[in-house]
Every structure is written in C-alpha cells, then in structure tokens.
Amino acid sequence: SQTIHQWPATLVQPVGSPLSLECTVEGTSNPNLYWYRQAAGRGLQLLFYSVGIGQISSEVPQNLSASRPQDRQFILSSKKLLLSDSGFYLCAWSVQGKSYEQYFGPGTRLTVT
Amino acid sequence: QQQVKQSPQSLIVQKGGISIINCAYENTAFDYFPWYQQFPGKGPALLIAIRPDVSEKKEGRFTISFNKSAKQFSLHIMDSQPGDSATYFCAASLSGGYQKVTFGTGTKLQVIP
C-alpha cells in the first residue's frame, strides 16, 4: 500500500530564516506530487505541483519554491520566511493521469515568529 | 467559473441525527466530485466521490447526492456520531490528464452527544 510522509510535523522559525519541508511517498512510482497550504480555519491553496523529476509548476507567486530531486521526494523551500508564510503545509500525491484523486500527508504546522 | 461554493461554514448536529453539507459549482465540465474529511491537526482524507452520471452514491453512513441540472451536490451523514466531528471539504475536478482540483472552503462539523 502507498504511504506518504512529511517532516517535520511542527516547526517554529523566525522571520527571515530559511525553510525546508520534505515529503516522500512509498509504494508507488512516478506519482504526481503537490504542495498545499492551509491557513487556520481556511481552505486548501495549491502552491506547487509536479508531474515528474525536476518538473515543477507554480500556482501562486510567492517567496516559496519547490523541488523534486527524486521520483518520490518533494521539497518545499524558502530562502527567507515571512510572517504570512505561517500555516499548515500539506503534501499530496496522485497516480499519473488521476490528479482528481489526491491523497494527503499528515502535514507540517509552520509558525513564523 | 472554477469556484466551488460550500455551505454551511459550520454545523452542529446531535448524535444520531443527519448532517447535510451542500456544495455548488459553476464549471459544467467538472466530472469528478470528491469529499474529503479532515480531523484537527491531520491531513484531509478522501472520503467518497461521485461522477455526474449517477445521482447518488452511498458508502456506509455517507451518501453523496448529485443534481447535475442544478450544479449542486451534497454530503449526507446518517446517524451522525461524535467521531464524525471533523472538517469536510467538497471538491470538483476534470478527470483528463493533469487537472487542478478545486476545493470548497470547508464545513466544520461538530456532533454532540
């Protein structure tokens, strides 16, 4: 069966510090991968998606970036965090060709102070 | 055109009652309508989904009703239990190739004993 991991689970970072969140998927190959942000009590905002290694599409311009160095690894980064980057970050995966059926990881709670 | 409007924002139901969450969409090309369940501090989990060629789909106590002409669909939770207390998101998508999933804004359900 497929499993998706995210770490860290929680993170408190000062404004201006760098960020690296990691997501890995097990039990499948060549998945589509997604990064979402969920503000407190709000809906899901798609940040990035990837259909293959090194292929990243950005949905929302911001100071975040994403990379996919390996087939089942997806990384969300920032060089300098802003207060507005606080939120719950979710990684998700789907089978190629079935992007409408997404499976989410446990999330990372990021607080920028 | 791409929005999915979800209501109510919050819902309190007594144990054993029926919880009803409604969603409306605008894009008539959408052909896949999933519902996600999210417990506090966790990632959303795919709960149940429907395609527009059927008017109803039932899985256990969860039923999706779909009204194609009205461009509306709803989630019914029969015999609601305290363990059903969570935030529910409806969504809509096209099912060909890569397609962005459009999420509703979520409904926070509380089932009281």
Reduced to 3 states (helix: H, G, I; strand: E, B; else coil), residue A84 is: helix
Q: Which residue among B41, B95, B103 places its CB closest to the CB of A43?
A: B103
What is the longest distance spanned by two Cα atoms in chain B? 45
In terms of phi and psi (left: phi > 0; alpha: psi -120 to 50; beta: otherwise), the region of B97 is left
For residue B45, which residues of chain A lie inside 8 Å, CB to CB?
Answer: 103-104
The pLDDT of residue B1 is 59
CB atoms < 10 A from the CB of A101, how many? 14
DSSP B17-37: S-EEEEEEE--TT--BEEEEE
Which one of B4, B51, B98, B109 makes the best mutation probe of the A interface by having the most chain A beta carbons within 10 Å? B98
Summarize the confidence of residues B19-30 as an average pLDDT.
95
Q: Are B16 and B83 in contact (CB under 8 A)?
A: no
| Max Cα-Cα span within chain A | 40
Q: Does B51 touch chain A (CB under 8 A)?
A: no
Query: CA B72 to CA B62: how far, in whole Å?
Result: 17
The 10 Å Cβ neighbour count of residue B36 is 24
Determine contact: A32 vs chain B, CB below 8 A.
yes
Report the percentage of chain B scoring pLDDT > 90. 89
Digit-by-digit pLDDT tens for chain A (113 residues) are 889 999 999 999 999 999 999 999 999 999 999 999 998 777 899 999 999 999 999 988 688 999 999 999 999 999 999 999 999 999 999 998 888 899 999 999 999 99
